[in-house]
Structure 1
């Protein structure tokens, strides 16, 4: 069975205010929870750590060293 692009995770480069798609896909994974984040819903990431986060609370936990 062939996988559609909807089944593939994207590879992104996270910048300070935007991200660049390095490998096309439909989603990324939260670095803290492992939750799937559809690209159209991605709002929180760290350019320094090159990680995505599902919620602002998870981003804060990770950046405070708790995640």
Structure 2
């Protein structure tokens, strides 16, 4: 029987050019807004903070406060 990752958050390690899945799931949570981001739509993250962002605007604002 195959297990489903539906509605299960993934745990990722963010790197400069991608990410490694540490715990399988179908989404991550935005570090600022709390929005669920499907893994196939994940485009923005911080390597230093190890957090994902739902949009370029959110990522820019989060990195400006560093």
TM-score by length of 1: 0.89
Q: Aligned with 2:33: secondary structure?
A: coil
**CA distance, structure 1, for counterparts of residue 23 and residue 45 of structure 2:** 17
Distance 1:28 1:5 in 2: 12
Give TM-score, length-normalised by structure 2: 0.91
Segments of structure 2 that go 5 or more residues without pairing to the other structure are none
Shift of 1:26: 0.0
Aligned partner of 2:8 in structure 1 is 8
- Aligned to 2:12, what secondary structure does the other structure show? strand
Q: Could you tell me which residue of structure 1 aligns to residue 18 of structure 2?
A: 18
Q: Distance in 1 between matches of 2:63 and 2:7?
A: 29
| Aligned-residue offset at 1:7 | 1.5
RMSD across aligned positions (CA): 1.2
Runs of 4+ in 1 over 4 A off after TM superposition: none
Which residue of the partner structure matches residue 41 of structure 2?
41
Identify the residue that residue 61 of structure 1 maps to in structure 2. 61
